Structure formats: C-alpha cells, structure tokens
C-alpha cells in the first residue's frame, strides 16, 4: 500500500514536471517564433517588454487571462468549450509517451524519465494525433461563423490526406525495430549503432510532411490562412480560449511530433557523452529543438498550398511512395 | 502501472485544459456590450444568421477512401512488429494483401476518385 501510494505520487510529480515544462517552453516558443520571424523579415521582433522582449510571453499570458469572455450569438456553448479541451488534451498527452533519456538507478530503484512506458506507445501517439483534429472541427462548427466553418472543413481535408501517409511512413521504422515502444525503438538504434534515418530517409521526408500537416504549419496551414480566413477556425475565440489553440497546435504539438521524429529517426538520446550524465537529455532536447526550429523556419519562408493541391499531393504522390517504401523495407529486412 | 500513469497524465491534461477554457469567465470583465457577441464579418451585416449551412467541400470520396486505407495501415501495424518471427510467410501474405488494395487504389485513381471535386 505504502509503495503504491509512493509510486502514484512519483508519477504525478513526473507528469507535472513534463507537462508544465512543455507548456512553459511552448509559451516561450511564441517569443522565439516572433523574434525569428522578425529577423527573417528584416525586423527586430518584440523588444519592449524586458531585455530582448523576453518578458513578452508573460505579459501576453496576463493579458489573455484577464480578457472578457465573448461567445458569439448562436454558438453551440457546450461544443464551444469542448473544442478547447479536445484541442489541448491530446496534444499535451502526446508528451506522456516520449522518453527523455535512458533509465537510471537511484537508491536501488529503477527510474525511467518517461511518464508511461507502454508497449503501444507509437499507436497511442498516432491515435492522439488523430484525435486533436476534433478541436479544430468542433471550434469551427460551434462558433457560428462562416470563416471558422470553412477553416475547420479545410483542416478535415488535410487530415484525411495525411493520416494515411503518416501511418504508412512509420511502418518501415517499426519493421526495423520490431516494437511499438518508444524506449524500445531508441534502444534498437543504439544497439545497431545506426540512426534509422540512414535506413529510412524516404520515410523521414514523408513523416516531415505529415508532421507539418498535422500541426497546421506552413505550407499546409490553409485552415488558418490569415489573409483570407483571418486565422480560420479560432476566429470567434478570445482571451485564453484563443490562446489555447495556437499553444496546442503550433507549439505543444510541434514539440511532441518533433520529439517522436527524434525517437523514430534520429536515435533518441543517442550522442557523444560531452556533458557527463546529463548528455542524453542534452542530445534529446537539442535534436528536438533543431526540428522545431526547422519547422518555424519553414513557416516564415514558404507560401501555402491550396486545399486541392494538398490532398492530391498526399494521395497521388506521397501514398504510393509510402506503400512502396514499406514493401521494399520488408523485402530488404527479410533478405538480411 | 504504466496505464495508471497514463490515466494520471490524462487527468492533469484535462485540468490544464479546463483551466484554460474557464479562466476568462473567472478573471475577465463582466460588463456586457449589446453588439459584442456579433459574429465576425468584414464590417457589413451578416447575410444569414446561421453559418452552418450546406457547403461544397470536394472530398467526399476521399473521406470514404481514408477509412479503407487507415484500416489497412492498422492491420499492417501488428504485422510489422512480428515480421522478424514469421519470415517468408509474412512477406508473401503482405505482398498479396497490399497488392489487392493497390489494385483498388489504382481503380479509384483511374475513376478519378482521387481528384478534388470541383
């Protein structure tokens, strides 16, 4: 009984550390993105609040939290609130299956820096990734606004195209590793001494496309399309309710999907031991942040596709490549 | 135990989401303005009060195909995990399985089901 209570408490502490850190980093990514966008566009970005504008996210959070609640007339109130929950919960829960480093012993107790080391971790990650689309659909439906409605239907078009490709693109990695467990996949790469991107470069490119599409980043951000839909599905949300959507989709989701990409293709916490016992964590965070940086960089560089082109690229080009990749990988794995 | 951890994570995530959803109702101003809840439109009155009408989305058949191919991917996931144990049998089976579905895919493509409906 004592040990059960102890382990429950320990899990709660782990959950709080991971989630609150991720949300804090997500909030600070807004500052980073604005700064980066500023320098890409030959501006300075935020400079006023604090040194280098570093206190800007805190000022934004206070401003968003103290705003008045405005719900458009004719809105479906329960669904209107549920959209926020459906957008945030799956994105945050994705962080539960990410292994931040190898397990270690403290006082004769084995501790793993992962919230839930389940053997279906990847399946869970993709299920949660699919669930997060309901946040967009609900918000578009509940707001009683044409802009939000069109935005959410466009998001549906993107999701029906990239769900399938995402499923097929990771099959190659699972074939090589022989497990769904995120810890198992990283250990398989360390054991082989090769990151899976060397064996599966095509799968990584497909995954990258799907990651951008799932998190609504450029060039697949037609559901937001500032110029035509004035940010689309969340146009009728205000205050912290508005803040929840970009936080979930653009920041927490991108962090989580980048971390899963690192697990699948870049060897997880594998890397030279330059910081002693902390180096696995350093390498994991550094690789994840490199991918996040790449995503934000693309966001401020590329134009966006039409909904028509996005679905047709996925079904006519990416899906055949993904299926061929799976079959070829299976044959090669069988021969060797 | 790992699934209990997942449950705890779900509860914490729900609490965070509820906090974000309702913080404005607690901290925000309460003074109402007669037109503040008017749905967004670019400076003109709304054409119709109800936004949820009929809408041409152009991907009805693609939505049907999604179900087919997502289930195909779901069948392949367990196969990929045990592939090393079942050997040549698994390889031939999956080539037949994917081959049949690829025929369906080519049929759909030739029929124009993959095109965006204008």
Q: Which value does ipTM take for this structure?
A: 0.83
Is A80 part of a structural domain of the chain?
yes
- What parts of chain A have a pLDDT lower than 50? none
Is A98 part of a structural domain of the chain?
yes
Q: What CA–CA distance (Å, rounded) separates A261 from A126?
A: 12
Q: What CA–CA distance (Å, rounded) separates A18 from A116?
A: 12
- What's the pLDDT band for B118 if we cut at 50, 70, 90? low
Quick one: pLDDT at residue A192? 84
Q: What CA–CA distance (Å, rounded) separates A250 from A257?
A: 11
Is A16 part of a structural domain of the chain?
no
**Cross-chain Cβ contact B21/A241 below 8 Å:** yes
Nearest to A69 by CA among B33, B15, B34, B30: B30
Q: How far is B44 from chain A (nearest CA, A)?
A: 14
Is B118 part of a structural domain of the chain?
no
Give the count of domains, chain B.
1
Domain that holds residue B81: 2-110
Q: Which residues of A touch B40 (CB under 8 A)?
A: 72, 145, 147, 230, 235-236
Q: What CA–CA distance (Å, rounded) separates B93 from B97?
A: 6
Average of per-residue pLDDT across B31-46: 74
Domain that holds residue A148: 70-335
Give which of A5, A11, A169, A325 to mutate to test B binding, by max B Cβ within 10 Å.
A11
The answer on pLDDT for B48 being more than 80 is no
Is A62 part of a structural domain of the chain?
no
Alpha-carbon distances of A18 from A13, A281, A302, rounded to whole Å: 9, 13, 32
- How are the residues of chain B apportioned to helix, strand and coil, as percentages rounded to the nearest 5? 65, 0, 35
- Average of per-residue pLDDT values in chain A: 84
Is A195 part of a structural domain of the chain?
yes
CB of B92 within 8 Å of a chain A CB? The answer is no
Q: Which residues of A touch B25 (CB under 8 A)?
A: 69
Alpha-carbon distances of B76 from A101, A183, A323, B90, rounded to whole Å: 29, 21, 11, 11
Q: Which residues of A touch B52 (CB under 8 A)?
A: 141, 144, 149
Average of per-residue pLDDT across B63-90: 83
Is A118 part of a structural domain of the chain?
yes
Quick one: pLDDT at residue A169? 87
**Cross-chain Cβ contact A84/B17 below 8 Å:** yes
> Tokens representing B31?
């003074």
Is B32 part of a structural domain of the chain?
yes
Peptide bond into B23 cis (omega under 30): no
Is A63 part of a structural domain of the chain?
no
Give the count of domains, chain A.
1
> Tokens representing A130?
């699919």
Is A321 part of a structural domain of the chain?
yes
Nearest to A213 by CA among A299, A326, A85, A317: A299
Q: Which of residues 43-62 of B touch A (CB under 8 A)?
A: 49-52, 55, 57-59, 62
């Amino acid at each position: 009984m004592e040990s059960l209570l102890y382990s429950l408490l320990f899990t709660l502490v782990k959950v709080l550390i991971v989630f609150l850190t991720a949300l804090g980093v997500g909030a600070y990514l807004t500052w980073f993105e604005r700064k980066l966008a500023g320098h890409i566009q030959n501006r300075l970005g935020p400079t006023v609040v604090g040194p280098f504008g570093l206190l800007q996210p805190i000022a934004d959070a206070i401003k968003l939290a103290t705003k008045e609640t405005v719900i458009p007339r004719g809105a479906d109130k329960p669904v209107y609130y549920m959209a926020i929950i459906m957008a945030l919960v799956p994105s945050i829960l994705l962080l539960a299956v990410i292994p931040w480093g190898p397990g270690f012993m403290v006082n004769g107790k084995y501790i793993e820096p992962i919230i839930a080391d389940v053997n279906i971790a990847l399946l869970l990650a993709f299920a949660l990734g699919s669930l997060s689309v309901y946040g967009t659909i609900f918000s578009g439906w509940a707001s009683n606004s044409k802009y939000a409605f069109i935005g959410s239907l466009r998001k549906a078009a993107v999701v029906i195209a990239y769900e399938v490709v995402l499923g097929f693109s990771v099959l190659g990695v699972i074939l090589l590793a022989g497990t769904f467990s995120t810890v198992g996949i990283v250990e398989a790469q360390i054991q082989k001494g090769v990151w899976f991107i060397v064996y599966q470069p095509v799968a990584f490119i497909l995954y990258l496309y799907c990651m951008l599409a799932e998190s609504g980043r450029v060039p697949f951000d037609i559901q937001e399309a500032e110029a035509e839909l004035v940010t689309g599905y969340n146009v009728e949300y205000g205050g912290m309710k508005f803040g929840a959507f970009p936080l979930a989709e653009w920041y927490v989701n991108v962090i989580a999907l980048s971390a899963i990409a690192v697990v699948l293709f870049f060897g997880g916490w594998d890397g030279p031991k330059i910081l002693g016992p902390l180096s696995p964590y350093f390498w994991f965070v550094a690789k994840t942040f490199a991918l996040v940086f790449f995503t934000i960089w693309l966001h401020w560089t590329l134009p966006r596709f039409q909904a028509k082109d996005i679905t047709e690229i996925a079904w006519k080009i990416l899906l055949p490549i993904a299926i061929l990749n799976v079959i070829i990988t299976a044959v090669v794995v069988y021969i060797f | 135990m790992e699934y209990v951890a997942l449950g705890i994570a779900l509860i914490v995530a729900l609490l965070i989401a509820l906090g974000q959803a309702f913080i404005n109702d607690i901290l925000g101003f309460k003074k109402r303005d007669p037109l503040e809840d008017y749905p967004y439109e670019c400076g003109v009155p709304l054409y119709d009060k109800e936004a949820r009408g009929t809408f041409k989305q152009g991907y009805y058949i693609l939505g049907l195909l999604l179900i087919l191919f997502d289930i195909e991917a779901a069948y392949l996931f367990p196969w990929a995990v045990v592939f090393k144990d079942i050997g040549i049998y698994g390889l031939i089976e999956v080539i037949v399985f994917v081959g049949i579905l690829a025929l369906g895919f080519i049929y759909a493509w030739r029929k124009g089901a993959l095109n965006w409906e204008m």
